[in-house]
Amino acid sequence: MNKKRLTNISTLLADYSKGNFSKTMEVSDELDEIDSIIMGINMLGEELKETTISKNIFENIFNSVSNILFIVNKNGVIVGTNNYGKKFNSIRINKTLFSDICNIKRVENAFNYLVKHKGTKIESELTTSTDKKIFTEISIVRFSHPAKYEEDNFLIIAEDITEKKEHDLQIIKAIIKTQEVERQRVADDLHDSLGQELSSIRMMLSAINREAISPSNIDIINTCNSVLMSSITELREICFDLMPASLASSDLLAIIKELLSATLIKVKYSTNSKKLPLNKEETLAVYRVFQEFINNSTKYSKAKLLTINFNLKGDKLEINLSDDGVGFNMKSTHWKGRGLMTMKNRIHSINGHFSFDSIIGEGTHLKIIITCKN
Amino acid sequence: MKIENNYIKYEIINDILIGTYKAKYIDLDIAKSVVSLRKKFTNNLKYPVLIKDNNTVKIDKSARDYFASDAGAQGINAVAVIANSVYKVTLMNFFIVVLPPKMPVKLFKSEEKAMNWLEKHKVIFHE
């Protein structure tokens, strides 16, 4: 009898090992030692069944959400990910550091930064094994799942915002294109109408027979002529600012030189290439950024020196632009009004990289990296 | 002072509540009925409790969870269980280890020793 019960116990344990927790064994009326073991195993089966159901529910939710989920231990090592996260097939569970696949701008260690900023959504880039970048908004929470992981971990939730970023970029591009078309139209109108009229007036003034006019009226005519000349020059500058004629050539260096010739700040200029392989759209974007930066340096920073460097390496063009002005506090909000977002959007619209830094008393620095298409 | 239903009999002796189970199998409905009767009998006041049983063979998972919950444990400040067989010791130990109770719980073979231990947990004044 006992031998049969012991055999049944071993069969029941084998079933539990296979995850079949629904089976139980009846206890005898004796309620002896073997019955107490059977009852213990039955209760263990009930507990395991519930734990397994909880685990399965968790796994289903974990794998069906549309966000990328990472479970990361306190050392920043990825110990788990959901189906969406498995596209990062470079990840080796229990080996890969989260910071190795995640990049947050200006941050050295993405994991440590996230832990310090729990509860905040932070924009970042995740890199897949094929070096594809996925733009995400990530946040971190403490995470405990005793049935699956021995220690308390962190759950990192990453929302893929690549499409949203692309949509935003298309809007920015459309706005910039509209602005440029409008600038071109205004510049053409000024040049063709007001410019032509001013030139006509100048010709008419020069055609006046000065001998028939009293000396005091000649003085008035001379003053008119001088004011007219100044207006024509100013009109040309306005037209240049709106849309330099040289932009048609896409020669960024020539246009920048033309722009710099009008500034009173000393310029230190260097380049490792006489011709930059930029298309018209890229040239225009960089030119507008220079225009904005130089305008700010002149108006606000009291800069005495502008340092400009173009460094072309393969198809990568790195442009560094800095002034030695008063600088400003990047944490204050008013600096955003100084056209920084416009500059950033311009460079992002040509898929370039833009970084900007300013230190009070030391000046302001701007760096652009463009992958040239030409 | 006594009260009983199909599953349990309660009596209060010397400010200790004594519960004697009649049910062989305890499921969630029986567990709720047992707790409800206790609360009614004690008028929701706290007592140390002595648990005795003659027949109980099985307490299923849902019943165990209910006994261990706040609702199931409300009104009890200590539990002494008479477990005078290996079977009952195993049953109670499993319960105590898997679902740690919120109040002191101890197993005894002798009812006298259990009552002495519960004496220390008596509520002197019921508010």
Question: Could you list the residue range(s) of the whole structural domain that residue A335 is in?
Answer: 248-371
Asked if B61 lies within 8 A of A33 by C-beta distance, the reply is no
For residue B20, pLDDT beyond 90: yes
Q: Point out the domain boundary residue: A208, A242, A276.
A: A242
Q: Which residues contact A209 (CB under 8 A, 6 or more apart)?
A: none
**Any idea which of A32-46, A239-253, A270-284 has the lowest mean pLDDT?**
A239-253
Across the range A129-155, mean pLDDT stands at 81
Q: Is A37 within 8 Å of chain B by CB?
A: yes
| B94 contacts B54 by C-beta, under 8 angstroms | no
Task: State whether A70 and A54 are in the same domain.
Answer: no
Angle at A267 between CA A265 and CA A268, to 5 degrees: 155
Pairwise CA distance, residues A188 & A180, whole Å? 12
Task: State whether A366 and A296 are in the same domain.
Answer: yes
Q: Give the distance from residue B94's alpha carbon to the nearest chain A alpha carbon, in angstroms.
A: 7
Q: Give the distance from residue B43's alpha carbon to the nearest chain A alpha carbon, in angstroms.
A: 33
Q: Which residues contact B8 (CB under 8 A, 6 or more apart)?
A: B19, B20, B21, B22, B23, B34, B37, B38
Asked if A32 lies within 8 A of B86 by C-beta distance, the reply is yes
- pLDDT tens-place string over residues A200-225: 888 888 888 888 888 888 889 999 99
Task: State whether A54 and A76 are in the same domain.
Answer: no
Closest residue in chain A to residue B59, using alpha carbons only: A43
- Number of cross-chain residue pairs from A and B with Cβ atoms under 8 Å apart: 38
- pLDDT tens-place string over residues A96-132: 999 998 989 878 899 999 999 988 999 998 887 777 7
- Domain B2-119 fold: Transcription Regulator spoIIAA (3.30.750)
Q: How many CB atoms lie within 10 A of CB A44?
A: 16
> Domain residues of chain B, as ranges?
2-119
Task: State whether A40 and A71 are in the same domain.
Answer: no
Q: What is the mean pLDDT of chain A?
A: 87
- In angstroms, what CA-CA distances link A11 with A7, A8, B57? 6, 5, 22
Asked if B86 lies within 8 A of A40 by C-beta distance, the reply is no
Task: State whether A330 and A362 are in the same domain.
Answer: yes
The number of angstroms, rounded, from the C-alpha of A127 to the middle of its chain's C-alpha atoms is 14
For residue A336, pLDDT beyond 70: no
Domain CATH code at residue A72: 3.30.450.20
| A78 contacts A71 by C-beta, under 8 angstroms | yes
Closest residue in chain A to residue B95, using alpha carbons only: A43
- In angstroms, what CA-CA distances link A58 with A142, A208, A224, B68? 16, 93, 84, 24
Q: Which residue has the higher pLDDT, A336 or A61?
A: A61
Across the range B28-32, mean pLDDT stands at 95
Q: How many CB atoms lie within 10 A of CB B114?
A: 24
What residues of B are in the A interface, CB distance below 8 Å? 57-58, 60-61, 64, 85-87, 89-91, 94, 98
- pLDDT tens-place string over residues A32-79: 889 989 999 999 999 898 888 888 888 888 888 889 999 999 999 999
Domain CATH code at residue A355: 3.30.565.10
Task: State whether A54 and A82 are in the same domain.
Answer: no
Task: State whether A358 and A281 are in the same domain.
Answer: yes
Pairwise CA distance, residues A317 & A279, whole Å? 13
Q: Point out the domain boundary residue: A37, A60, A83.
A: A60
Pure H helices in chain A? 2-17, 33-64, 98-101, 110-116, 162-189, 196-206, 215-242, 252-260, 280-296, 340-349
Across the range A294-313, mean pLDDT stands at 90
Q: Point out the domain boundary residue: A160, A181, A202.
A: A160
Question: What are the two backbone dihedrals, phi and then psi, of residue A73, each rounded to the nearest 5 degrees?
Answer: -80, 180
- pLDDT tens-place string over residues A157-201: 999 998 898 898 899 889 888 888 898 888 888 888 888 889 888
- Residue to mutate among B24, B59, B66, B90, with most A CBs inside 10 A, is B90
| Model pLDDT, residue A38 | 92
Across the range A296-311, mean pLDDT stands at 90
Tally of domains in chain A: 4
Q: Which residue has the higher pLDDT, A147 or A299?
A: A299
| Chain B residues inside the 8 Å CB shell of A36 | 85-87, 89-91
| Model pLDDT, residue A260 | 85
- pLDDT tens-place string over residues B44-101: 899 999 999 877 899 999 999 999 999 999 999 999 999 988 899 988 888 888 888 8
| B52 contacts B111 by C-beta, under 8 angstroms | yes
Model-level ipTM above the cut of 0.85:
no
Residue A276's pLDDT band, with cuts at 50, 70 and 90, is confident
Q: Which residue has the higher pLDDT, B32 or A374?
A: B32
Closest residue in chain A to residue B65, using alpha carbons only: A47
| A290 contacts A321 by C-beta, under 8 angstroms | yes
Task: State whether A252 and A367 are in the same domain.
Answer: yes
